[in-house]
Amino acid sequence: MSLDSKVPKGPLADKWTSHKMDSKLINPANKRKFKIIVVGSGLAGGSAAATLSELGYKVDCFCYQDSPRRAHSIAAQGGINAAKNYQNDGDSVHRLFYDTIKGGDFRSREANVHRLAEVSTEIIDQCVAQGVPFAREYGGLLDNRSFGGAQVKRTFYARGQTGQQLLIGCYQALEKEVAKGGITMHTRTEMLDLVIVDGHAKGIVVRNLVTGEVTSHAADAVILATGGYGNVFYLSTNAMGCNVMAAFRAHKRGAYMANPCYTQIHPTCIPVSGDYQSKLTLMSESLRNDGRIWVPKSAEDSKAIREGKKKASDIPEDERDYYLERKYPSFGNLCPRDIASRAAKECCDEGRGVAATGLGVFLDFKDAIARDGEDAIRARYGNLFQMYEKISGENPYAQPMQIYPAVHYTCLLYTSPSPRDRG
C-alpha cells in the first residue's frame, strides 16, 4: 500500500502554475449543475464554502457549533504571513518557502509549502476584500511586524486579535452567500459517515445534535475542513477540542492520515495553573517582537520565585539568562517556535523554571517599556496584556509574563490510496 500525494510533476517553482494551466475548467453555466459539501466552517471551511458559492457552485456547509463564528480559528491572534515585501527588506516567495520548510523541521512536503508561499499574497488581498481591518501605517499602507523564525517583517495583523477579525471577515462572506441562496448552512450537526462511490467521496451522513435526526446528503465532491487532533495531548489551546470524528469516518472509509507529525507547538502559552483546567490560553507570538525571554541563572533563585519568596524584579540583570539571545543571536527571541519551545523545556528540566509547577519562563517587557514608553506597548498589545492579567492576576506592565510551550495547532490531512491499491 502506498500514499499518492497528487503533487504535480515538474520544477518546484512551476509545479502548481503548470497544474493550473493543465487543469480542465468548468464554464460558469455548468458550475450551477454541481453541488459541493463542506464539513467545517472555520477559516478553511468557511472560506472554501464562500469562494465556491461565489464561483457558482451549490454548497452545503455543515457546522458542529451553533454558529460558524465559534470556530477555533478565533485563537490565531498574532497574524498571517505573506511575501509581499512591503518593507523592502529582502522578502520573497522563495524566502517564505525556505523559512517555512526550516520552521517545520524539514518535515513538510516541499511542493505544498511552495504553493502556500505563492498564494500568500493573494490571501492577504482576499482578506482585505472581505473587510479584515489589518493594521496600517500612518500613510494608510498595510503594516507588518516580525514573527518567530523569520528575519524579515512579513506578518500582517489586526492588533492582537487577528484570528477573530479574519473569522469575522470569513463569516461575513459566508453569510452573504447564504443570503444569496448559494450556501445552505447546517449548524449543530455531526458527521457520522462518508459516502464513497467508485473511490470518490460523494456524500455524508450527519446527525442533528439538537433533535437527534439522522439524514444523508449527496454531492459531487466533499471537502473536510474539520480541524485537528490537538486534544490527544490532553491540555491544548483548543477551546473545546476540535471534533475529529469526520476525519475518523474518512479514515474508516480508506483514507490515510498523511502527516501525523503536523503539530504546532506554541512557545508563548500561559502555563498550567491547576488539575481541573479544561484548556490552555495562548498569548500571541507577536509578543516576542518586544518581549525578552529569560530565566534566572541560578536554580535557587528559580525555586524562590516558585515559592513566592522572590519576584522577577528581585533578580538583578547579571543574574538573568536571556537564553534565546545567548544561544541564537541572529534570531534572538524571534527564533523558530520549535527551537524556542525546546529551549524553554531545557531550562525547566534544569530546575530553572519559574511557574508554580516549575514549567514556565519569563516574557519580560521592561526594556521595551523603557525604550518606547508604556503607551506604545499598550497600543500594540493592550488587549493581550489585559487578557493575561485577568487570567493570571498579575500586571504584565509591572512584572514579566510567565509562558510555556503548548500544543496550539494540529492538522489532519488525509489522502486516498493510489488507484492500484484500492482493490
Say if CB 109 and CB 5 are below 8 A apart.
yes
Taking residues 324-331, report their average pLDDT.
94
Confidence category of residue 124, pLDDT binned at 50, 70, 90: very high
Confidence category of residue 148, pLDDT binned at 50, 70, 90: confident
pLDDT at 53: 97
Q: Count Cα neighbours of 306 within 13 Å in the Cβ-side half-sphere.
A: 22
pLDDT at 156: 94
150-200 per-position pLDDT tens digit: 889 999 998 878 888 999 999 999 999 999 999 999 999 999 999 999 888
Confidence category of residue 65, pLDDT binned at 50, 70, 90: confident
What are the structural domain ranges in the chain?
12-260+411-422, 266-408
- In 3D, which of 21, 68, 324, 66 has the Cα closest to residue 178? 68
Q: What is the mean pLDDT of the chain?
A: 88
Q: Which of 236-245, 248-257, 378-387 has the lowest mean pLDDT?
A: 236-245
The catalytic residue positions are 337
Say if CB 235 and CB 409 are below 8 A apart.
no
283-295 per-position pLDDT tens digit: 888 899 899 999 9
Confidence category of residue 415, pLDDT binned at 50, 70, 90: low
- In 3D, which of 408, 72, 73, 46 has the Cα closest to residue 240? 72
* The pLDDT of residue 144 is above 50: yes
Confidence category of residue 241, pLDDT binned at 50, 70, 90: very low
224 is written with which cell numbers?
473536510
pLDDT at 242: 53
What's the CATH number of domain 266-408, 3.40.1280.10, 3.40.50.1820, 3.40.50.720, 3.90.700.10?
Answer: 3.90.700.10
* The pLDDT of residue 331 is above 60: yes
**Chain Cα centroid distance, residue 380:** 20
What CA–CA distance (Å, rounded) separates 109 from 296? 39
What CA–CA distance (Å, rounded) separates 13 from 107? 19
- In 3D, which of 30, 34, 36, 71 has the Cα closest to residue 50? 36
What CATH architecture does domain 12-260+411-422 belong to?
A: 3-Layer(bba) Sandwich (3.50)
Taking residues 62-69, report their average pLDDT.
88
Say if CB 211 and CB 205 are below 8 A apart.
no
Counting residues of the chain whose pLDDT is more than 90, the rounded percentage is 61
Q: Count Cα neighbours of 94 within 13 Å in the Cβ-side half-sphere.
A: 4
pLDDT at 107: 80
- Beta carbons within 10 angstroms of residue 104's beta carbon: 19
Taking residues 17-21, report their average pLDDT.
92
pLDDT at 418: 42
Q: Return the amino acid letter for 216.
A: S
Is it true that 12-260+411-422 and 266-408 share their CATH fold?
A: no
pLDDT at 261: 66
**Chain Cα centroid distance, residue 260:** 16
What CA–CA distance (Å, rounded) separates 222 from 406? 32
pLDDT at 423: 29
pLDDT at 259: 67
24-52 per-position pLDDT tens digit: 999 999 999 999 999 999 899 999 999 99
* The pLDDT of residue 401 is above 70: yes
Say if CB 132 and CB 47 are below 8 A apart.
no
* Alpha-helical segments (H) within 58-180: 93-103, 110-129, 162-180
Taking residues 377-381, report their average pLDDT.
89
